[in-house]
């Protein structure tokens, strides 16, 4: 039995509206009347064993995760003859899929920001003991808040890895274009599986198009279209970072999410070369030797030397020359000022002539009064 607007669930959660429908149930926006907070309620109406275990696994995984880019689970329970329910943070905003349909491909800077945030979430999940894999990263499972927050949601296909073995209860499902080849069939999945799916999500965000299916690439039926072929505005280094994540063989991808993040950030920062007019070859700002270091030691490229009180004639001449150079830098361009004065004078004379032509009688009276 599905929930209705205004219904009170478990004498605590007041249903406000439906947020979306899925294969096993729906997600609702609700109010926790005990705490006065908005929450999301996810229901599972398929309570047969496999689906029930999958739902409980999602609840258990999320309940133990605490990260700025992951939703928090506050409660989960089962109502007999009705369904299972998961209570989690309500993430306001829209998912990447909705945003792509609304505005098209994103700017590179925004995609790098989103990618870095998701890499942080994956680094946290993959460093847990046991390791947590998401296995369903795609635009529809990434939410962006109105304030720019990034959240990875929907852990329905997640699984936990115990050492070199994986749990046998993890659900198997694929999304064409976003799932790597090892996720098809009975192949082993690991952290690099999530890296592939994240790469596919960023590829779609940059180009507005889904990458070619990984299984078709493995069978040489298709080849991955380069990012810059679909969006020439993207920098070469960001495109290459995303394409490396999309390699069909896991050994050819980024091995850790932190590596992927670092390359994205370095690629983005390399696009900006801000020059404030400082000449690195200039000697106007000289480095002073560290007085704590003995003479003859190189400190930050400067050799320290013993300083005497007596100033040599040569040093005095150099000092005087430096002062003279500073005075020369402060000189005013007198030629430019004279030209400006001459231009203003000409404009005033021209204005007077035009005025006399337009008002000859007034001009005659002014001249008689003046002289």
End position of a domain, from candidates 269, 303, 334: 269
Helices 360-370 and 334-358: crossing angle, nearest 10°?
120
Kindly give, in sequence order, each residue whose CB lies less than 8 Å from that of residue 116, ignoring residues fewer than 6 positions away: 261, 264, 265
- The answer to whether the bond into 15 is cis (omega within 30° of 0) is no
Q: Assess if residue 60 is contained within a domain.
A: yes
Domain of residue 264, CATH code? 1.10.510.10
74 and 103 inside one domain: no
Flag whether 365 is in a domain.
no
Q: Which of 120, 136, 154, 213 is catalytic?
A: 136
**Nearest Cα residue to 137 out of 177, 186, 79, 86:** 177
d(CA 118, CA 203): 14
Task: Check whether residue 115 and residue 29 sit in a common domain.
Answer: no
For residue 191, give its domain range.
94-269
Last residue of one domain, picked from the residues 225, 243, 269: 269
pLDDT tens, N- to C-terminus, the chain (371 residues)? 678 999 999 999 999 999 887 666 788 999 999 999 999 998 888 777 777 777 787 788 888 899 999 999 899 898 888 888 999 999 999 999 999 999 999 999 999 999 999 999 999 999 998 899 998 999 999 999 999 999 999 876 565 665 554 433 445 567 899 999 999 876 789 999 999 999 999 999 999 999 999 999 999 899 999 999 999 999 999 999 999 999 999 999 999 999 999 999 998 776 543 333 333 333 333 344 444 444 444 443 444 444 444 455 555 554 555 544 444 444 445 555 667 787 788 888 887 777 777 776 666 666 666 55
In a domain, residue 335? The reply is no
Number of folded domains in the chain? 2
How confident is the model at residue 305, as a pLDDT?
A: 44
Whether residue 123 is found in the same domain as residue 36: no
Tell me if 295 is assigned to some domain. no
Q: Are 183 and 189 in contact (CB under 8 A)?
A: yes
Q: And the tokens for 188? A: 């082993």
Same domain? For 213 and 111 the reply is yes
Statement to judge: residues 101 and 82 lie in one domain: no
Residues 105 and 65 in one domain: no
pLDDT in tens, 64-111: 899 999 999 899 898 888 888 999 999 999 999 999 999 999 999 999
**Residue 251 falls in the annotated catalytic set:** no
What is the model's pLDDT at position 371? 56
Angle between helices 96-103 and 191-207 (to 10 degrees): 20
Query: Which pLDDT score is estimated for 32?
Result: 97
18's tokens: 């439906």
**pTM of the predicted model, to two decimals?**
0.68
Domain co-membership, 259 together with 137: yes
pLDDT value for 250 = 95
DSSP secondary structure letter of residue 133: E
- What's the CA gap between 64 and 73, in Å, rounded? 8
pLDDT in the model for residue 70:
94
């Amino acid at each position: 039995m599905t929930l209705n607007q205004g219904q009170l669930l478990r004498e605590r959660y007041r249903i406000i509206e439906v947020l979306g429908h899925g294969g096993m149930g729906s997600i609702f926006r609700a109010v926790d009347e005990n705490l006065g907070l908005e929450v999301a309620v996810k229901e599972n109406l398929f309570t047969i064993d496999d689906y029930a275990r999958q739902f409980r696994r999602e609840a258990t995984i999320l309940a133990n995760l605490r990260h700025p880019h992951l939703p928090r689970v506050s409660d989960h329970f089962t109502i007999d003859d009705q369904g299972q329910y998961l209570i989690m943070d309500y993430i306001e905003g829209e998912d990447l899929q909705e945003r792509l349909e609304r505005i098209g491909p994103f700017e590179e800077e925004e995609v790098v920001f989103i990618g870095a945030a998701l890499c942080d979430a994956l680094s946290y999940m993959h460093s847990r003991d046991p390791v947590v894999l998401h296995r369903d990263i795609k635009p529809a499972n990434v939410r962006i808040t109105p304030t720019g927050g990034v959240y990875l949601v929907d852990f329905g296909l997640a699984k936990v890895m115990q050492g070199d073995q994986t749990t046998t209860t993890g659900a198997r499902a694929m999304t064409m274009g976003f799932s790597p080849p090892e996720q098809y069939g009975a192949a082993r999945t690991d952290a690099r599986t999530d890296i592939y799916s994240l790469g596919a999500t960023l590829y779609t965000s940059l180009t507005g198009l889904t990458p070619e299916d990984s299984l078709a690439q493995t069978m040489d039926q298709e080849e991955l279209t380069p990012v810059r072929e679909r969006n020439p505005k993207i920098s070469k280094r960001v495109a290459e970072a995303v394409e490396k994540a999309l390699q069909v063989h896991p050994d050819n991808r980024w091995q850790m999410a932190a590596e992927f993040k670092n390359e994205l950030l370095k690629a983005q920062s390399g696009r900006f070369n801000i020059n404030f007019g400082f000449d690195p070859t200039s000697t106007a700002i000289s480095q002073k030797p560290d007085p704590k270091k003995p003479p003859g030691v190189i400190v930050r490229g400067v050799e320290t030397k013993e300083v005497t009180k007596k100033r040599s004639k040569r040093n005095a001449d150099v000092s005087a020359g430096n002062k003279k150079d500073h005075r020369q830098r402060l000189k005013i361009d007198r030629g430019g000022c004279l030209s400006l004065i001459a231009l203003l004078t000409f404009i005033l004379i021209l204005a007077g002539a035009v005025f006399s032509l337009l008002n000859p009688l007034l001009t005659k009276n002014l001249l008689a009064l003046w002289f």
